[in-house]
Amino acid sequence: MAKKQKFSASVWREGRWYIAQCLEVDVVSQGTSESAALKNLADALVLHFSPPLATRAPKVLPVEVKERAA
C-alpha cells in the first residue's frame, strides 16, 4: 500500500483559470475550477516524487580535450 502525504496548497483565480501552488514543494498546476486545479496539482506532485524512467538508453561517448600550450 502506498504511503499518503499531505501538503498545503494556495489556490487563486487568474482569468478563467484556477492556479494551485503547493506551499511545501515548488510545484504548481491549473484547472478550470478550484477542484480541477487541486486534482491536477495532486497529479503533478505524484509525478514530481516519482523516480525518472528513461525511455531509451542514453548515449555515452568519449570526449577528448587537447591542452593548449601556455
DSSP reduced 3-state for 17 = strand
Amino acid at 58: P
CB 31 within 8 A of CB 39: yes
Alpha helices in 1-70 (DSSP H): 34-49
- pLDDT on residue 52: 81
Is it the case that residue 3 has pLDDT exceeding 90?
A: no
Residue 42, all three cell numbers: 495532486
Mean pLDDT, the chain, rounded, equals 92
Report in angstroms the alpha-carbon separations of 31 from 22, 36, 41, 43. Answer: 14, 5, 9, 12
Joined together, the cell numbers standing for residue 4 give 499518503
